[in-house]
Structure 1
Amino acid sequence: MIPLFSYGALQDIGVQEQFLGRTVDGTPDHLPGFVLTVAELDDTDLIAATGSARHPMAVLGTSSGTRVRGTVYLLTEAELDAVDRHSGVGFHRVPVELGSGITAWAYVDRRYRPPLLSRGAVPAESQELAA
């Protein structure tokens, strides 16, 4: 299973069922150094599932102590591919180190270019999430 950090639509059970075909349990976590802004999406399936074209987008913060709260989910490769198809043109999936120390994928502002992570550049399958 592959860890994905979500701070937006994927936290909604209806979105999980529509795009993953199941509901997934997650673990609360946070993304240090980022803040939320709002992006306009054009994915009609996601807009229909959430009822809005406006969705949160994590952008690199300029003040110390900033963070985005969200949830880490463990997904299959096929489920991650399904989420990729609906992420929106302003986002891209990058490896991030979360507040818990877990390395996970997250969808953030496309302009952000991540530094190399101390644990490696790609989130490992089968990382254990803290209970």
Structure 2
Amino acid sequence: MSTHLLFSYGTLRQPEVQRSVFGRELDGREDEITGYELGEITITDPAVIAASGSAIHPVLRPVEHETGIPGRVFTVDDDDLAAADKYEVADYTRILVPLRSGAQAWVYVLAGSDTGITAAEASDT
């Protein structure tokens, strides 16, 4: 089974969401993503709202200028990544991006605004 880096700037950092999505709390380290700004979207999926405790969720949108959005990087396996995909609603898409540390990690951004390698493209390589 492969391992992956998953960058979270939002609800996937919450211990209760991790227990709901992955069945355990994840260990991670601090990092940053650049080239994005933080916005908000309203989630309507009842299961996601129940897990996170809120209908308002953060979302990343690409920007031209240098920004730094802090978050945590988790090492996850294929099953964890599939569970995260299931948790994230259609408003998000998962892309592979460089982090400030130089690591490459998956991150969920606003659907339709991706500027990295999508999950579908990565599986084709």
TM-score under structure 1 length normalisation: 0.83
**Equivalent residues of 1:34, 1:58 under 8 A apart:** yes
Whether contact under 8 Å (2:5, 2:106) holds in the other structure is: yes
Aligned counterparts, 1:1-131, within 5 A = 1-62=3-64, 64-115=65-116, 122=122
Q: CA deviation at 1:115?
A: 4.8
- Distance between the aligned counterparts of 2:116 and 2:52, measured in 1? 32
Higher helix share: 2
Q: Helix, strand or coil for the counterpart of 1:57?
A: strand
* 4+ aligned runs moved over 4 Å, structure 1: none
Q: Which runs of 5+ in 1 are unaligned?
A: 123-131
C-alpha distance 115-86 of structure 1, shift in aligned 2 (>3 A): closer
CA contact (8 A) 1:3 1:73 kept: yes
- Cα deviation for residue 65 of structure 1 reads 2.2
Provide the rounded CA distance (Å) in 2 between the counterparts of 1:115 and 1:40: 24
Cα distance in 2 between the residues matched to 1:115 and 1:45: 28
**Equivalences, count:** 117
Q: How far apart are residue 113 of structure 1 and its match? A: 3.1
**CA shift at 1:46, angstroms?**
1.5
1 CA distance for matches of 2:12 and 2:34? 19
Taking structure 1 as reference, are residues 115 and 77 closer, same or farther at Cα in structure 2, changes over 3 Å only?
closer
Paired-residue identity, %: 33
